Structure 1
Amino acid sequence: MEGSDCDADAKMEEETSQNETEEPEKESSDDTVCQFFLAGTCRFGDRCRNTHIAASDASEQPTANKDNVSKDKSHSKRIGKKPPMKTASDVISRIQWDPHLPKEHFLIGYLDRFVGVIEKPFSEFCWEDLASAGIDVLAIPKHRIQYFKYQELVVWDKTNRTDNVFGSTGSGLTILDVIAQHETLVQTEQNDKEEMKQVALDLSDEEEDCENSTQDYHLQKQSTKKVRPTHFIAVRISSEEVRSTVKEVQDVLIKHNTEIAPFLTPLPELHLTLCLLHLVTSDEMEIVHTVLQEIRTEIQRILSPSFILSFDGLKDFHSRVLYLAPMFVPGLSSFVENLNQRFRSNGLVVIDPPTPSSFHLTIAKVPRSLASKNPSLRFLPEVYNNIQITHFGAQHIDTVSFCHARSSRCTDGFYTTLLELPLY
């Protein structure tokens, strides 16, 4: 048996050697084509003794390679798949336990079932199990969290798949990068503020040199005009009825003049401004928070819970700002005057609007320089008075917002909101 096995092994080895010697000749021959290869099922690959590609069969190559093409498509799909995003729970744990992250600088925007998205400081939340959390603490299901902010920068957003905490969605940024960039920005802004303070001191010295109160008054008014608002208190327009009406008006404006499109107010930005502020330091912003909290009880006394803001028609400022004028509401002007007085008494700079007695909901606004050069961009009564709308909708006011006047926006398109204060 052993001898026969050796003979069989030797014979097999000899045939294998002979096949390897003859293989180049068969590869160069077009006589024998592998039928299994044409069917796409050949399992020998390059070691196959028959010819895989013949000149006359070049057109059949895609069919023969269909398995490979299918594999390539599958591989492409795997490459195009979005990377998994770190969850809100991951971000919470990172903020809680990373000693390099100042918890007091983080904010959370979460979805309230009745009010909408509300923003609160991270330190106000209780992260215990909801079943064991007390009724006097702020505890929410983590799936309601919409975004996290570091200072005023959104670093994690569920809707837009933004993750600059871990960089899990491929942004290339982590929270430490964001903090470093923010510190650089703060330092730059601080330098600008120091320059502004110096200018203010120079103006103050000039006012002291004035000889009479009339000159002092005019100088004060002139310096106030140079100060631009950095923050504002507003009522956000969330009514779909009002928004749809504004959209209808804007469509008519565009139909009349397509050049007006860039100057239309986006629907998510619609708001009624109550107060304009120029704030420089974080202490001043904290004063705004305190005043709003203190005046909350007075709001409930002045304004009823059924406070409805209605609009009675379109008007314009100098033919370059088109707005909806709200109907007169008893108590609203008193509330705003009281609010401004509180801010001033606490040392804050309150900027008087161009028309103090007019609350307005801006629909479109053209810069003064462009309106003067291009008369076609002006809003004329003969155009907007022909819009056939008799009812412009109403807004239930139960919340006021403390917002930043910069160009940055929240994920829902509204201005960056530092505080949303429920009135009732």
Structure 2
Amino acid sequence: MARCRFGEKCRNTHTELFQGNKPKIKSKIQKEASEHKGKKPPMKTAADVISRIQWDTKLPKECFLIGYLDRFLGVIEKPFSDFCWEDLASVGHDVLAIPKHRIQYFKYLHVVVWDKSSRIDNVFGSTGSGLTILDIIDQYKSMVVTEPEKSDNKASPEETGHLLTETNVCCSNEDSEYPDEDYAKAKRPTHFVAVRVNSDEVRSTVEEIQGLLQENNPEIAEFFMPIPTLHLTLCLLCLESSEDIQTAILTLQELKCEFERILPPSIILNFEGLQDFHSRVLYLAPSSIPALEKFEHMLNKCFQEKGLKVMQYPGSNTFHVTIAKIPTKVLRQRPNLAFCTNVYQNSQIKYFGAQPIDSLSLCYAGKTRRTDGFYTTLLELSLY
């Protein structure tokens, strides 16, 4: 019987030539099982998500945002409707069109629903929690419905002040009692600029103190700040649109040279003791550094000059790193949770370590976290 001279390597199909000697072909199920054995489950691609948003009538396109990697500016976030999804070769220079492989994440409003790096797919549910975009939308709607019900109960300015800072974004003023009702009505911050505490020395001493507090009162453990989230906040921002976020990112990048001029060759934060606020907030305060105060003032001023809303609350402007915080309302109901001064003041730890300031992080003040436990970071700027 006639045979193709290339045999099984031939790219063309010759069904009539191989009837007498059919090659063994695995079934589709066997092939897929062998291919995916020991591998991560396949994740829907960015192209799949784009197609879903474009053609699914249940999904409001105006509510989606895309974070993509720019070659020069890093990750940039833009509304889905700003993009053109035609063939890149056919679009003009005045149209926003990007290769799909540069897309890093998709958001529904402020919720990340697809993330390339952490393999989260809450659009189709192929990886991650298993939720789909319709589940996310339903959850978001239920949150919006219950929010006015909570606001109907009149709370004191002190309680409302806590609600403004419940995201655990810690700046020098966030734990004040907010005597002014205007602050009680203010919006909570959406983003913040911080120095991440990644010093092993500081982290280990904080962990040790948290252990002592837990031994004294096991119920207090739920109010500890997770070690990966420890940070010192320099600026709180209320960024209400993707344009605001882009402006904040560009402002930090533009100021990098100015930071190098103002800051000394190295700034070291030395933490020499614990302090508390009304027995409900326990924090580390670094030694006074005038250069850091000047740096913070310049940072806030630059954001304001760009038209961004900087959140400034009444109270002390002492820098600090919160390691535990009990909500005011909870403490009123359970006064036994109040921090006992003797527990940590009588400990052998007198020096809590040092943290160099060599980078800044622009973070999202929501509940989402990176795979390493830190806040979702839009920009990590190296200062040197």
Normalised by the length of structure 2, the TM-score is 0.61
Aligned residue for 2:306? 346
Residue deviations 1:176-234, cap 9 Å, x none?
Answer: x69x949x87xx79x99xxxxxxxxxxxxxxxxxxxxxxxxxxx953234212222111
CA RMSD of aligned residues (A): 4.2
Query: Which residue of structure 2 aligns with residue 155 of structure 1?
Result: 114
Residue 238 of structure 1 corresponds to 198
SS of 2:290's partner is coil
Q: How does 1:119-158 map to 2 (within 5 A)?
A: 120-121=75-76, 148-150=105-107, 152-153=111-112, 155-156=114-115
Equivalent residue number for residue 91 of structure 2:
none
d(CA) in 1 for partners of 2:269 and 2:113? 32
Deviations along 1:229-273, one digit per CA (max 9) or x if unpaired, are 222111111112211111001000001111111100001111101
1:303 aligns with 2:263: yes
Is structure 2 residue 317 aligned with structure 1 residue 361?
no
Residues 1:169 and 1:370: Cα distance change in structure 2 (over 3 Å): closer
The structure carrying a bigger helix percent of its residues is: 1
Match of 2:365 among 405, 413, 418: 405
1:332 is paired with a residue whose SS is: helix
The equivalent of 2:156 in structure 1 is none
CA separation of 1:224 and 1:158: change in aligned 2, threshold 3 A: closer
Choose from 235, 242, 247 the match for 1:287. Answer: 247
CA distance in 2, matches of 1:170, 1:276: 30
Match of 1:331 among 288, 291, 304: 291
Distance 1:383 1:248, change over 3 A: same
Question: Which consecutive unaligned segments of at least 5 residues does structure 2 have?
Answer: 1-32, 56-60, 79-100, 149-178
Q: Which amino acid in the other structure matches residue 114 of structure 2? A: V
Structure 1 pair 373–301 and aligned structure 2 pair: CA distance change class (3 A): same
- Residue equivalent to 1:223: 182
2:275 aligns to what SS in structure 1? Answer: strand
Structure 1 pair 402–393 and aligned structure 2 pair: CA distance change class (3 A): same
Q: What's the counterpart of residue 391 of structure 1? A: 351
Is 2:183–2:313's contact at 8 Å kept on the other side of the alignment? no
2: distance between equivalents of 1:236 and 1:120? 19
Correspondent of 2:212 among 242, 247, 252: 252
Partner of residue 44, structure 1: none
Residue 377 of structure 1: CA displacement?
1.6
Contact kept? 1:108, 1:120, Cα under 8 Å: yes
Give distance in 1, aligned partners of 2:316 and 2:54.
47
Query: What is the aligned partner in structure 1 of residue 340 from structure 2?
Result: 380
The residue type equivalent to 1:86 in the other structure is: P
Assess, with a 3 A threshold, how the Cα gap between structure 1 residues 294 and 162 changes in structure 2: closer, same or farther: closer
Deviation at residue 378 of structure 1 after TM alignment: 1.6
Task: Give the whole-Å Cα distance in 1 for the aligned partners of 2:115 and 2:259.
Answer: 34
3-state SS, counterpart of residue 85 of structure 1: coil
Identity rate of aligned residues, in percent? Answer: 44
Q: Secondary structure at the match of 1:382?
A: helix
Question: Aligned partner of 1:300: which letter?
Answer: E
Aligned residues: 286
Find the counterpart in structure 2 of residue 53 from structure 1. none
Shift of 1:316: 0.8
Secondary structure in structure 2 of the residue aligned to 1:313: strand
Q: Which has the higher contact order (CA 8 A, sep 6+)?
A: 2
Amino acid at match of 2:41: M
Contact 2:77/2:245 (<8 A) preserved: no
SS for the counterpart of 1:363 is strand
Measured after TM superposition, the shift of residue 339 of structure 1 is 1.5
Change (3 A) 1:226 1:380: farther
**Corresponding residue of 1:86:** 42
Shift of 1:332: 0.5
Q: How far does the alpha carbon of each residue in 1:290-331 deviate from its partner, in whole angstroms, 9 at most, with x for none?
A: 322232222111113422222111001121100011112231
Q: Normalising by structure 1, what TM-score? A: 0.56
Change (3 A) 1:100 1:174: farther
Instruction: Measure the CA separation in 1 of the matches of 2:274 and 2:260.
Output: 30
Residue 233 of structure 1 contacts residue 403 of structure 1 at CA under 8 Å; is this kept in 2? yes
Look up the match of 2:13.
none
**Paired amino acid for 1:358:** T
1:264 is aligned to 224
Preserved CA contact (<8 Å) 1:83 1:169: no
Measure the CA separation in 1 of the matches of 2:114 and 2:251: 29
1:402 touches 1:420 (CA, 8 Å); kept in 2?
yes
In 1, distance between residues paired with 2:105 and 2:295? 32
